[in-house]
Structure 1
Amino acid sequence: MYSQVLDREVSMTKSIAADSDHLDVDADGATLRFPALWLRDNCPCVECRDPRTGQKFLGITDLAEDTAVTAVEQTDTEVTVVLGPDGHRSTFSRSWLAGNALDDGDPGDGRTERGKRLWLADDLRGRLPEGSWADYLADPAERVRCLDAVLRQGFVLLRDVPCEDGAVRDVAESFGYVRETNYGSLFDVRVEATPNNLAFTGLAISPHTDNPYRDPVPTLQLLHCLRNAVDGGETGLVDGFRAAALLRAEDPEVFAVLAGTPVPFAFADADTALRADRPLIGVDPAGRIREVRFNNRSIQPLRLPYQRIVEFYAAYRRFAELLVRPDLLLTFRLAPGDCLIFDNTRVLHARTAFADTGDRHLQGCYADLDSLISSLAVLRRKVDA
């Protein structure tokens, strides 16, 4: 809303503010206020920031606690402030100040519900966010669209990825790095004679997130379908953020119980022992949904006061019942060559049962959102250039 400030004709003026603790800037009839210490901390000059990296030279303890605005010079495009007690001069463009207005309008890092497009099953049924692997590789704009779908909607389905061993690694490395775990850099989801995880059976698997017993949890999961010649074995996805938001709207007290109760998740086999205590619904300091961890197979006994256990189990059941509502569960069948990329901190995945004698083989790996977000930002710069 403040971008119009660039169109205003403002002549050069100079005003003195007697040790003011803030700066007021007029922008299209509104007044933007910035604390003096905030201005000093964000000074863009070469004395304060490395011009090559943009990183700050000074820490907060290097800045005077009594920093004040002692003078202001303004043009139609820039504002220069003189800051006491050392007389340091800081120049800011008006567009930069407008873009960093202290109005809580920052969308943040895009990982909370604030930066997402929440969905129900009917919103996407018959119109999945998808793309062609060949187009994804050839067209930077198409890659931006697909990666943005993972960030905003929680997943994307890439079609016609070659049905070759290790191809899922190529998909992960197209935007980031494979996250190696005790399951290896890649893992095969198929029926095994002696499985160490129920995923490696033909049993139905209810909506869940993977590896909640890790901290940090793998934030992205990729599943590449190599073969799917079985009856059953359909894939299901649930927008966990939408489910958590519905729970908050329907029963805020239940939501608060789940957001405020650490749950012990664990996994162990002959070579591995992992544990992380995290709530089923994670929120940021502003109360916005940031993470869902839900995996009934991995929850260990909670050791809390009796009444808190009773409250938790009632809330846990309520959330579990909500997650399997037909209006939330999106179901579709993966075909050979389909590679599903999804946000493991948000989207719960499931599958229907299939016969152990069938031929169903998915190959998967884990990766992380930070690499995808970085690749997306760099690609956008190139596409927009």
Structure 2
Amino acid sequence: MTATETAAETAAAGTGRTRTPRPTALSAVWLRDNCGCAECRDPGTGQKLFQITDLPDSLAIASAEQRTEAGRDGSGSGDGSDSSEGWDVVWSPDGHRSHYDAAWLAAAAQPDPRAEDGKELWPFAEDLDGRLPETSWDAYRSDDRERLRMLDAVRSLGFCLLRGVPLEDGQVQQVALSFGFVRETNYGLQFEVRVEEQPNNLAFTNVAITPHTDNPYRDPVPTLQLLHCLVNDALGGDSGLVDGFAVAARLREQDPEAFAVLTTTPVEFAFRDAVTELSAHRPLIDVDAEGRIREVRFNNRSLGTLRLPAARTDAFYRAYRAFAELLLAPEAQLEFRLGPGDCLIFDNTRLLHARTAFERGGARHLQGCYADLDALLSTVAVLRRTHEEQN
């Protein structure tokens, strides 16, 4: 540490300021790659103007001076600001100058919003007693804070419930368009969940549907599903949700061998009808490079034929059964009834959904569509940023 750095840190400590990481304690190439000055990033888009190969091979910090007062001239920052508290860095061997904002340097690494550590898990239905994420359609449309609260609940808890959505054909697509875009599939832009005379899927019958994720035979799978209830006068036909991430985490804790098998064994999921033939080979539990749960695919109706050596096949089925026993346990399932005007939005890569059987002669009609998490997460980020700027 240089004398300048030591003096600056001592002064900051004396004023009670939050200490930020010293540039010299960080990766030099990472720090330089994140320079936000106008030479390195386009001021309009914030996108980089250089390739990693343009940086000097012998890159090093020549000097680093802590800025303790905003307003002093600078040459840019990690977040694009050039007049904030933080560190002024001069680079060797090219003499390039950078400024790194203190808040940017101090910020902890943000969790991947798609992985388990970016979620609030609920392994049992009772974990959500008295705190269902719900609001009225009017409040959702008229109040950006309420819209943010609901959409952020999809990110954190995996779902939200909008009440009083107009009973109009195609309204489910309008809900999807309120935060993103409709994902078209072989079922169309939207699909009708009701009893059909010649169904191509058990969802379009009156039989019970056990907890599952939709479209596991697609890659990429639709990451969000919306279901809008128009009529539900039938005896039965209640809905259920299970937190697949939370249950997978329980499996990892209770039976690490089974968890390892299910994260490393690709299985075929398949769907076929007269005009469609789809398949995807993915594990039931998908993890990222750090081993964090990032996706669950579970659908006994779409699971194809496993073709592995007998020992691996037996290991898979033992692990599959262990996972299924946890997923299908009654205490894991949050049960509720959708009434006319209710619209459920949920994360199809995390939550399993279910339905009890209902009387075939009873009226039950839901309209559904698919959407994608990236658009929802974008809307959440913009709404949050706007809210912070206004406060």
> Is 2:204 the partner of 1:200?
yes
Aligned-residue offset at 1:7: 10
Kindly report which structure 2 residues correspond to 1:359-370, keeping only aligned pairs within 5 A, or say none.
Answer: 359-370=363-374
1:246, 1:173 → 2: CA distance? 35
Distance 2:90 2:102 in 1: 16
Aligned-partner Cα distance in 1 for 2:20–2:118: 28
Give the alignment of 1:262-301 within 5 angstroms: 262-301=266-305
Counterparts of residues 155-234 of structure 1 (less than 5 Å)? 155-234=159-238
65, 69, 74: which one aligns with 2:66: 74
Indicate conservation of the 8 Å contact 2:20/2:105, yes or no. Answer: no
Task: Work out the percentage of aligned pairs sharing the same amino acid.
Answer: 62
Larger fraction in strand: 1
Post-superposition shift, 1:155?
0.3
**For residues 155 and 10 of structure 1, do their structure 2 counterparts lie closer, same or farther at Cα, with a shift above 3 Å needed?**
closer
Kindly report which structure 2 residues correspond to 1:338-353, keeping only aligned pairs within 5 A, or say none: 338-353=342-357
2:91 match: 83
Amino acid at match of 1:95: A
CA distance in 1, matches of 2:262, 2:375: 29
Opposite residue 37 of structure 1, the aligned amino acid is V
Query: Does the 8 A contact of 2:12 with 2:19 survive in 1?
Result: no
The answer to whether the 8 Å contact 2:20/2:106 transfers is no
Q: Aligned pairs, how many?
A: 361
| AA aligned opposite 2:59 | T
2:113 to 110, 113, 138: 110
What is aligned with 2:19?
28
Q: Is the 8 A contact 1:107 1:114 kept in 2?
A: no
**What is the letter of the counterpart of residue 98 of structure 1?**
A
Preserved CA contact (<8 Å) 2:90 2:98: yes
- Worse-superposed segment, 71-80 or 86-95: 71-80
Q: What are structure 1's unaligned runs of at least 5 residues?
A: 1-5, 12-25, 100-104
Deviation per CA, 1:173-211: give whole Å up to 9, x if none.
010000000100000000000000110001111100000
How far residue 378 of structure 1 moved from its aligned partner, in angstroms, is 1.1
Deviations 1:234-262 (A, max 9, x none): 10100001110111111111111001110
Find the partner of 2:378 among 365, 374, 377: 374
- Please give the secondary structure, in 1, of the residue aligned with 2:274: coil
Is the 2:251–2:259 contact (alpha carbons within 8 Å) kept by the matching residues of 1?
A: yes
Q: Name the SS of the counterpart of 1:327 in structure 2.
A: helix
- Note the C-alpha offset of 1:30: 7.0
In structure 2, what is the Cα distance between the partners aligned to 1:10 and 1:311?
Answer: 58
CA contact (8 A) 1:180 1:366 kept: yes
Residue 288 of structure 1 deviates from its aligned partner by 0.8
Following the alignment from structure 2 to structure 1, what is the Cα–Cα distance between the partners of residues 348 and 12? Answer: 50
Deviation at residue 78 of structure 1 after TM alignment = 2.9
- Provide TM-score, normalisation by structure 1: 0.90
Aligned to 2:316: 312
Tell me if the contact between 2:20 and 2:102 (Cα under 8 Å) persists in the aligned partners.
Answer: no
Give the 3 Å change call, closer, same or farther, for CA 199–8 of structure 1 in structure 2: farther
TM-score in terms of structure 2 length: 0.89
Question: Which residue identity lines up with residue 35 of structure 2 in the other structure?
Answer: C
- Cα offset, 1:68, TM superposition: 1.1
Residues 37 and 53 of structure 1: is their aligned pair in 2 closer, same or farther, counting only changes over 3 Å? same
Deviation at 1:48, TM superposition (A): 0.3
Aligned counterpart in structure 1 of residue 106 of structure 2, from 98, 102, 106: 98
Residues in 2 aligned to 1:7 and 1:146: alpha-carbon distance in whole angstroms: 42
Measure the CA separation in 1 of the matches of 2:356 and 2:289.
37
Query: 1:200 & 1:218 partners in 2: Cα distance?
Result: 19
RMSD (CA atoms): 1.9
Deviation at 1:10, TM superposition (A): 4.9
Find 1:52's aligned residue among 25, 29, 44: 44
CA distance in 2 between partners of 1:42 and 1:274 (Å): 42
Secondary structure in structure 1 of the residue aligned to 2:135: strand
How far the C-alpha of 1:28 sits from its partner, in A, is: 3.3
Letter of the 2:189 counterpart: S
Name the amino acid aligned to 1:319: F
| Distance in 2, Cα, partners of 1:7 & 1:377 | 33
For structure 2, which runs of at least 5 residues remain unmatched after alignment? Answer: 1-7, 69-84
Contact 2:9 2:19 in 1 (8 A): no
1:275 to partner: Cα distance:
1.0
Match of 1:328 among 315, 329, 332: 332
Structure 1's 94 and 353: CA in aligned 2 closer, same or farther, altered over 3 A?
same
- Cα distance, 1:303 vs structure 2: 1.3
Report how far residue 109 of structure 1 moved.
3.0
Question: What letter is aligned with 1:53?
Answer: T
